[in-house]
Structure 1
Amino acid sequence: MSSVPSDLVLIGEHAFPLVMNPKGQVLMAASYYGKGRMVVLGHEQYLTRFPGLIKNALKWLMPSTGDAGIVGIQKSGLAVYITDAYSVVKCAKDLIAFIKAGGGLIMADQAWHWAGTHPQENTLKNFPGNKVCSVAGIYFSKRYGKVGIFPVPKRIPYSWLALSVGKDFKDDLQILLEGVSEFDVQGKDIASEVMVHGPLAFPIAVTPAGKTFIAGAYYGQGRVILLLHECYMDRDSLSTFLINAIKWLDEDRKGVIGILPS
């Protein structure tokens, strides 16, 4: 395995690793999305380097309708679609719909080169392949995957090391905490505590006892902010943070903001 892959970040209950190195980095993964399935490989050369794996992946990806279907490379009208991460830029929405309806996908590439040429970009959000495979909880990261010769696992590989943070959230917190010096949540409103779990979730506000009461996360191509008490939405002391949160969620798209009526 001389081709240096990207470390893949997995979230959600449907994504699972296929190959994991001793550092806990995921080099190949698979997932379900809607009625379909996908297999993601951390380097484009893996498509030709591991023919046995690809053969098995095609069997797993084929629709369970009894129809053998057609396998193709970067073409439409197929049962299984095989592509690199860059060729999906113009067809991401159609490809997502194809998988959701029962199609299969094999995507192979690495994101560290793209990240190096786009240093100001958010790799998890903007790397072309992530616009498709993220809906199933698989992300290409900018981290190099350590290569070697690894045994084929008899069961789905697992390691607590794979639960490490999948992203540096400094840029996100810089936006969310601009102009915020403290979180004044004094009063009778008692917040719940949230367990911040997964490589793409992060705490924003934490009590001196270490309990998180405001958190953020990436999910698919979207973002989430969680406030642990509904009254925080009306707090004047949190107004600056809430405005920042809306900006972060909107990603400068200047879209329409909807508020659920009370």
Structure 2
Amino acid sequence: MAAAAAATATLPLRGQVAIVTGSSHGIGRAIAVHLALLGTKVVINYTSNSAQADAVVAEINSSFPNAAVSVRADVSDPASVESLFDAAESVFDSPVHVLVNSAGVMDAEHFSIADTPAEEFDKIFSVNTRGKFLCCREAANRLRRGGGGRIILLSSSLVAALKPNFGAYTASKAAVETMARVLAKELKGTGITVNCVAPGPIATDLFFAGRSEEYVKSVVEACPLGRLGKTDDVAPVVGFLASDGGEWVNGQVIPVNGGFV
């Protein structure tokens, strides 16, 4: 990371503050590290694994001292989301400029809609949809006005693929995409943009959980680029949307899937 930082000639997001939910691992972690490379002060949000979150903070701060902190918050709880924004503003003495909502869960077993337990549906929607709603609501009231405010939500290319046995998960992400488009219009006049990034199959623990080697092979074969995506394939797209260059992109869903869908 230090070498990458040294090679970075400019820091287009210098002085900005970003909250990245679910950033102790996986795609969220890669996004947080990338935003730090662009000059952002970053809040690493986690729910349970403080050691993972602290490791991300240490990695960022080794190259950019005092540029990252970890904050525990359950995105499905309104008071916890409010405290997350409070902590970001307090630690960095600044309004939040960027919210990246990466926190998400997927059912360990892949049920048909006919066989999906209600409690499994509720668990998925609690984090993937309610969590993003609560974070969006807080961001809509607290992000910096007048230009540069960015809300970026992680969706999924499964919304476009409509594959069987992912009904609850896909529905939770489809709701997020609709919410993002509506919120982009509601924030007219604030200078805040709202977009979704929809990754395809990405090589993370979330993707591999409960999946056979044969299944993974079939996904790779279905991708025109012949591989799973990497977290570093997603992070630069989020970085672009957070930057001045992404200002004219608003209310959109950006697929990042190697042509998988």
Bigger CA radius of gyration: 1
TM-score, reference length from structure 1: 0.29
**Which structure has the highest helix share of the two?**
2
**Which structure has the highest strand share of the two?**
1
